[in-house]
Amino acid sequence: MSFIRESKDNSNNKPLPVLPPRPAHHVEITDADRPMTYGTFRRPSMDGLTLMANLSDELVPTFENKRRLIIVGDIHGMDASLETLLKKVDFNTNKDHLIAAGDMINKGPDSAGVISRLMSLNASAVRGNHEDRILLSLAEAENLSGVSKDLASPHEEDRRGQTEFLATGRKLKKEHVEWLSKLPVILAVEPLNMFIVHAGLVPGVKPELQDPWAVMNMRTLIYPREKLRGKGGRKSSRSDDDDDDDNEEEAAAAEAPPPEEEEEGETLESIQQKDAYTDRDTIIPIEGRDGEKWSNAWNHFQKRLKKSHRHTVVYGHDAKRGFREDKYSIGLDSGCVRGGALTAMVVEGKEGSKKGFTHTIVQVHCKEP
């Protein structure tokens, strides 16, 4: 089809040139461009990423089986500190199961040693932001071939912020990389109503719908509708010094009640319907610290649920805050690689409760490399 453009200035009545139709500009918006959606990746895609896995029931502690879970915070290549910590908790391969809460590698002196130790102990782990970046960087470097590889600038890795991650990744064995690539982002211990993640979870979103990038990277939550209504990024109703971990009795009671106990509270679905049009219905998890601490929001949300629906999240990632214990969240990153401590949460079954657990915290001092 041809189009003739009309002109009021065509005083000579000469025919104007026939112009082709203007191309329709098509802009495709991916899910990652919509920051308020969940269940989508805000990260480069990589086949095979596992969002969620369940810990085998045979590894879950009960009062009768006397088993233990040893959940360890960010190790960051500090294999000597990990060895010291396991000795301090008297780790027994016959009755204990080790779980690493992400960021096992990078920064420290012996990432390969840490992975070898975890593999030899048949440990479980979740993918942290450092494992994720290293795996993505290795995959991208491997995919460069032919002309693209020849034309790649020697400074390209540094420009893209990959130098550190590739340096660590290239020290790992093939079996280390394969083991890391199979780790889930979320590890569920359903008999104990517990999730183990690296960074955090968004309250009110089912675990299978969480954004993997957010689970590996978040520190705080922002609520854009509040800003649009002039509330200006309202902070949490509690200050930093008013977190649930100040209440030791409440923190120690982080467990689900026996099924026969009469429950109060709501289901996740009923809360979602009730909050559908509130200013806090839209949540954006961010890496920075400008919003509400996700753990504060998580604890407040859990208290609205029926007790048997409440879950405790064990996480790492936030060395600046250090070890934090709230009623429904426990943060284990205590800055080992910076000369802080390496922290383990030792979980045991609770007498008289099928879903309950007790826990103790064990730490060892780390020597900064």
Q: What is the DSSP string of 298-328?
A: HHHHHTTB-GGG--EEEE---TTT-SEE-SS
pLDDT at 48: 77
Confidence band, pLDDT 50/70/90 cuts, at residue 35: very low
Q: Which amino acid is at 249?
A: E
197 is a domain residue: yes
pLDDT value at position 163? 81
This model's pTM is above 0.85: no
Domain enclosing residue 321, as ranges = 51-365
Query: In 3-state terms, what secondary structure has residue 172?
Result: coil
pLDDT at 176 over 50: yes
Question: Does 306 fall in a domain?
Answer: yes
The pLDDT mean for the chain works out to: 79
| Distance separating alpha carbons of residues 18 and 218, to the nearest angstrom | 56
- What's the length of the chain? 369
Cα distance between residue 124 and residue 116, in whole Å: 13
> pLDDT grade, residue 280 (50/70/90)?
low
For residue 50, the tally of other CB atoms under 10 A from its CB is 15
Which of the pair, 88 or 34, is modelled with greater confidence? 88
Q: What is the pLDDT of residue 103?
A: 97
pLDDT at 247 over 80: no
pLDDT value of position 11: 47
For residue 5, being part of any structural domain is answered with no
Half-sphere exposure of 227 (CA within 13 A, CB side): 11
Residue 282 confidence (pLDDT) above 60 = yes
Tell me: pLDDT of 33 over 80. Answer: no
The predicted structure's pLDDT at residue 154: 54
Q: Tally Cβ neighbours within 10 Å of residue 18.
A: 9
The pLDDT of residue 155 is above 80? no
Reported confidence tier of residue 252, pLDDT bands at 50, 70, 90: very low
**Does residue 3 sit within a domain?**
no
Tell me if 29 is assigned to some domain: no
Residues 182-232 have pLDDT tens digits of: 999 999 999 999 999 999 999 999 999 999 999 999 999 998 877 666 654
- Residues 89-115: pLDDT tens digits? 999 999 999 999 999 999 999 999 999
Q: Which two tokens stand for residue 202?
A: 């968004």
Asked if residue 189 lies in contact with residue 245, where contact means CB atoms within 8 angstroms, the answer is no
- Answer whether residue 278 shows pLDDT above 70: no
Residue 362, classified by CB atoms within 10 Å of its CB into exposed (0-12), middle (13-18) or buried (19+), is middle
Asked whether residue 238 is assigned to any structural domain, the reply reads yes
Stretch 136-162: mean pLDDT, rounded? 62
**Contact between residue 266 and residue 304 where contact means Cβ atoms under 8 Å apart:** yes
Kindly state the average pLDDT of the residues 249-261.
44
- For residue 358, give the CATH number of its domain: 3.60.21.10
What number is the average pLDDT over the span 155-162?
54
Q: Is the dihedral of CA 27, 37, 290, 218 positive or negative?
A: negative
The answer to whether residue 93 is domain-embedded is: yes
The Cα 266–Cα 263 span in angstroms is 9
Cα-Cα-Cα-Cα torsion 131, 136, 139, 140, nearest 10 degrees, comes to: -150
Beta-bridge mates of residue 299: none
| Residue 31 pLDDT exceeds 60 | no
The pLDDT tens digits of the residues spanning 62-89 come to: 999 999 999 999 999 999 999 999 999 9
Q: Which tens digits make up the pLDDT trace of 302-353?
A: 999 999 899 999 999 999 999 999 999 999 999 999 999 999 999 999 988 7
| 3-class SS letters over 222-257 | ECHHHHHCCCCCCCCCCCHHHCHHHCHHHHHCCCCC
CA angle 107, 312, 199 (to 5 degrees): 25
Residue 283 has what pLDDT?
A: 86
Residue, of 252 and 166, whose pLDDT is higher: 166
Lowest mean pLDDT among 138-152, 290-304, 322-336, 350-364: 138-152
Residue 42 lies inside a defined structural domain of this protein: no
Query: Domain total for the chain?
Result: 1
